[in-house]
Amino acid sequence: MKLFVGLGNPGAKYANHRHNIGYMAVDRIAQAHGFSPWRSKFQGVVAEGQLGGGKIVLLKPETFMNLSGQSVGAAMRFYKLTEEDVFVFQDELDLQPGKIRLKTGGGHAGHNGLRSLHQHIGGGYHRVRIGIGHPGHKDRVSAYVLHDFAKADSAWLANVLDGIEDGAAELAAGDAGRFMNKVAQRTSPPRSLNVKPVKKPDQRAKVEPPVVAADERSVLQRLVDRFR
């Protein structure tokens, strides 16, 4: 059994914030793979289903981001899970928009949700880091993550969520490589090659006209030869 955690803040006003892309990811998995309806539990909401040959519990903590670890810790204790059973979907400032990376362990890099998880369950869980880009200066980070995605983000955001939906079973089965391949097929589709066809050389043999040797005889000699 595994626990998939989507980080975000509860409430309609936060629903489309960049900070809520973790919520968006587990919502997409629940919708696409026939999970049970969401129900309140562990200071959040959970949905249950099957992926990759095993049971998966989806969790969206509703403690607000900076207390996410309370909710995740309660779920882990109830299901008797370890850090290795937990996959956290999070927004990542240090990745370009639309890029995804998997990581196990490490620091929280100032992310309030991860900081809370470190405090309550340790740092050995898996992370699905979903790039949202950086505003350019640390003083603008808070306003940036707590703001709706721009219209210009809609295309790459849809591709990322499609990729997570496609690869969720592989992630649940522990096949990180196939999960990333599924995501890449959506976020980095092969480009069509606009190559002009090369004209093939004309293979038909060129027939040269026969070479006729010049007749250097005199007119008189030709007449004599003619009547011999």
Q: What is the CATH number of the domain that holds 113?
A: 3.40.50.1470
Active-site residue flag, 19? yes
The count of structural domains within the chain is 1
How far apart are the C-alpha atoms of 56 and 29, rounded to whole Å? 11
Whether 6 contacts 26, CB under 8 Å: yes
Total number of residues shown for the chain: 228
pLDDT in tens, 35-60: 999 999 999 999 999 999 999 999 99
Cα dihedral 128/134/135/141 (nearest 10):
50
**Of 78, 56, 63, 172, the residue nearest 117 (C-alpha):** 63
Catalytic annotation, pick one of 19, 33, 126, 147: 19
Say if 224 falls within a structural domain: no
Which domain does 139 fall in, by range? 2-187
Say if 215 falls within a structural domain: no
Whole-number pLDDT of residue 223: 58
pLDDT in tens, 137-166: 999 999 999 999 999 999 999 999 999 999
What's the 3-state SS for the chain?
A: CEEEEECCCCCHHHCCEHHHHHHHHHHHHHHHCCCCCCEEECCEEEEEEEECCEEEEEEEECCCHHHHHHHHHHHHHHHCCCHHHEEEEEEECCCCCCCEEEEECCCCCCCHHHHHHHHHHCCCCEEEEEECCCCCCHHHHHHHHCCECCHHHHHHHHHHHHHHHHHHHHHHCCCHHHHHHHHHHHHCCCCCCCCCCCCCCCCCCCCCCCCCCCCCCCHHHHHHHHCC
Whole-number pLDDT of residue 188: 87
pLDDT-based confidence at residue 4 (cuts at 50, 70, 90): very high
pLDDT in tens, 118-138: 999 999 999 999 999 999 999
| pTM beyond 0.75, yes or no | yes
Of the listed ranges 2-6, 114-118, 214-218, the one predicted with least confidence: 214-218
Say if 160 falls within a structural domain: yes
Say if 202 falls within a structural domain: no
Mean pLDDT within 191-209: 56
Say if 56 falls within a structural domain: yes
Whether 7 contacts 61, CB under 8 Å: yes
What's the 3-state SS for 108-160?
A: CCCCHHHHHHHHHHCCCCEEEEEECCCCCCHHHHHHHHCCECCHHHHHHHHHH
Say if 208 falls within a structural domain: no
Say if 227 falls within a structural domain: no
Say if 210 falls within a structural domain: no
- Extract the tokens encoding 132: 């949202």
